Amino acid sequence: MTATSAWCTSTPNLLGFFRFSITGDSGFLAMFSTIAPDGTRDTRVGDDVSTERCIELVRTALGCAPDHPVEIENVQQWSASAVTAESLSSGRVFLAGDAAHVMPPTGGFGGNTGVADAHNLAWKLALVTKGLAGPGLLASYDEERRPAGALTVEQAYTRYVLRVDPSLPQDDLQPPLDDASIELGAVYRSGAVLGEADVATPLDDPRGHSWAPGTRVPHVPLSAGRSTLDVPATVSRS
């Protein structure tokens, strides 16, 4: 995996963001819209992805000289969608990642949500296939991850409307919630959690210590650079 850093670019002519590798020798520009002189935003950037046009967009986004050397290696098209599957499992089939939920990149939640799906599903599959847990445990995957995915889709949509395209419907727009809580603070309610989560909100701030059932073990520094988050995998049944 390559570490990257994001850099938003907003010029009078376009709206988008760069992602550069930490080494700075590669990266990509993701485009949301061009902006006409009268302020009108046009999200149909993909209509013209000729090399000349892409070089022009990169130079504009960088704010560099019109003869600045730019080499286009690859162009990929994407469309902003905000959809969650009606169910994340059917029999032996489980949906994770973008197959389960697609969301606009505003917030940078899409890949992270897919990783959280896999993190939630992997240990359940392992326990069930090894015969260490009953198959009922697998039902908790949909119970836990679908609400979390749906909430994240709504949050990404809110950010897309507010930052990119205010002309989109705003009737049911959810108020923006804290980024860290969206990424790490899902509160699970399922057959794999006993007792009501005594947090009123749909998310639990991971920097806090609610200690409610269905939330993550809080991070508490231990000795030798360890954290309580390192412990569940190593604690054995007493």
Ligand X SMILES: Cc1cc2nc3c(=O)[nH]c(=O)nc-3n(C[C@H](O)[C@H](O)[C@H](O)COP(=O)(O)OP(=O)(O)OC[C@H]3O[C@@H](n4cnc5c(N)ncnc54)[C@H](O)[C@@H]3O)c2cc1C
CB closer to ligand X out of 98 and 165: 98
The SS3 assignment for 221 reads strand
User: Residue 216, interface with other proteins (CB under 8 A)?
Assistant: yes
- The burial class, CB within 10 Å (0-12 / 13-18 / 19+), for 166 is exposed
Gap between the Cα atoms of 31 and 77, Å rounded: 10
CB closer to other proteins out of 6 and 231: 231
34-42, 109-117, 137-145, 189-197 -> range binding ligand X (CB under 6 A): 109-117
- Contact flags string 2-41 toward ligand X, x per CB under 6 A: ----------------------------x-----------
Gap between the Cα atoms of 60 and 192, Å rounded: 51
CB 220 within 8 Å of CB 227? yes
* Vertex 91 angle, CA 87 and 94, to 5°: 50
68-76, 81-89, 155-163, 216-224 -> range binding other proteins (CB under 8 A): 216-224
* Vertex 191 angle, CA 187 and 197, to 5°: 35
User: Residue 179, interface with ligand X (CB under 6 A)?
Assistant: no
43-51, 108-116, 119-127, 210-218 -> range binding ligand X (CB under 6 A): 108-116
User: Residue 115, interface with other proteins (CB under 8 A)?
Assistant: no
Return the structure tokens found at 140: 């908790």
User: Residue 78, interface with ligand X (CB under 6 A)?
Assistant: yes
Minimum CB separation from other proteins for residue 57, in Å? 42
CB 164 within 8 Å of CB 43? yes
CB closer to other proteins out of 16 and 185: 185
User: Residue 231, interface with other proteins (CB under 8 A)?
Assistant: yes
What's the distance, CA 58 to chain centroid? 25
CB closer to ligand X out of 61 and 199: 61
Count CA atoms within 13 Å of residue 238 on its CB side. Answer: 2
Footprint on this chain of other proteins (rule: CB under 8 A): 119-120, 123, 127, 132-134, 136-137, 188, 191-195, 198, 209, 211-218, 220, 222-223, 226, 228-229, 231-233, 235-238
